[in-house]
Amino acid sequence: MAKIYLVASGKGGVGKTTICANLGIAYAKDGYNVILVDGDIGLNNLDVTLGVEDRIRYDIVDVLEGKAKLNQALIAMDGLKNLRLLPSSKVNVSERIRTPMFKKVVDELSEQADYIFIDAPAGIEYGFHRCATASQQAIIVTTPHISAIKDADKAIATLSTYSLKGIGIVVNRVRQDLVDKGEVLDAESIADLLRCPLYGVIPESDRIGIYSVVEGRGRDKARFAYDQLKDNLIRGVMINKRVKSKGILGRLFG
């Protein structure tokens, strides 16, 4: 049976889908069977991020409505056959997808994989809850910006009402120069504020996109960060030495 992770965020635009895709690739490159589930009905981006949008014949809605079998909808990645995607619908029919239906599909997929990562809709509306119900653990993605941190706090508080085995955060788009100047909080300070384990830190990078991982163009900081995030989740080890923030955010949150 697979370990099932919810990948969520309190707000959009923090890089949640990119992290979900790259994390799945990192696991698959290590030999694990991985299935990515796009849980954002009508606003799907995971297929675009992975570059397989032209290969979709059936999606999760087709499966739920009996128009296709589950394996017919799964898309294997070129060159990485142990990574598959269950795409979402481009049509917003979210209200037709009930929570028990969605969970049943994820449970069926868990028999075929070692890990499942569910890319949830941003925010804490119905789609978020639908994805959370099907998950065992949660990864909340935030950035060092105040609005993203506050919204992440709301998502974490909401998830605390579920019987999840663990909830942790990934801080994305971190610029160390701004941390050093005290203009933004460092990742461990953000984890302290959110009262959650720090699963990983992804630096701001021009090569942060999906193809830096798929094509393996050198071991840049972003690719190393995804590998480290994967290792942390597998071993249950958190990372990062604290870098004190002495600027305006440090005073504000202090």
Q: How many domains does the chain contain in total?
A: 1
Is residue 180 very low, low, confident or very high in pLDDT (cuts 50, 70, 90)?
confident
- Which DSSP letter does residue 70 get? H
What six digits make up the tokens of 28?
Answer: 């698959």
Number of helices followed by number of strands (H, E) in the chain? 12, 8
Which of these ranges, 29-38, 67-76, 140-149, 197-206, has the smallest mean pLDDT? 197-206
What's the rounded Cα separation, in Å, for the pair 128 and 159?
10
Residue 140's DSSP bridge partners are 8, 169
What's the rounded Cα separation, in Å, for the pair 111 and 102?
15
Does residue 209 register a pLDDT over 90? no
- Which DSSP letter does residue 53 get? G
Q: What is the pLDDT of residue 239?
A: 56
Question: Could you read off the pLDDT of 127-169 as tens digits, one per residue?
Answer: 999 999 999 999 999 999 999 999 999 999 999 999 999 999 9
- In this prediction the pTM is 0.89
Q: What is the pLDDT of residue 141?
A: 97
Q: What is the CATH number of the domain that holds 60?
A: 3.40.50.300
Residue 80's DSSP bridge partners are 77
Cα distances (angstroms) measured from residue 131 to each of 6, 60, 135: 7, 13, 7
To the nearest whole number, what is the mean pLDDT of the chain?
87
Is residue 179 very low, low, confident or very high in pLDDT (cuts 50, 70, 90)?
confident
What six digits make up the tokens of 53?
Answer: 């949008």
Question: Could you read off the pLDDT of 101-127 as tens digits, one per residue?
Answer: 999 999 999 999 999 999 999 999 999
Q: What is the pLDDT of residue 207?
A: 59
Q: What is the mean pLDDT of residues 167-179?
A: 92
Which residue range forms the structural domain that includes residue 109?
3-253
Question: Could you read off the pLDDT of 28-57 as tens digits, one per residue?
Answer: 999 999 999 999 988 888 999 999 999 999
How open is the CA angle 13-49-67, to the nearest 5 degrees? Answer: 110
Is residue 97 very low, low, confident or very high in pLDDT (cuts 50, 70, 90)?
confident
Place of tokens 């795409």: 87
What six digits make up the tokens of 29?
Answer: 């490159």
Does residue 241 register a pLDDT over 80? no
Q: What is the mean pLDDT of residues 11-34?
A: 94
- Please state the length of the chain: 254
Q: What is the pLDDT of residue 212?
A: 43
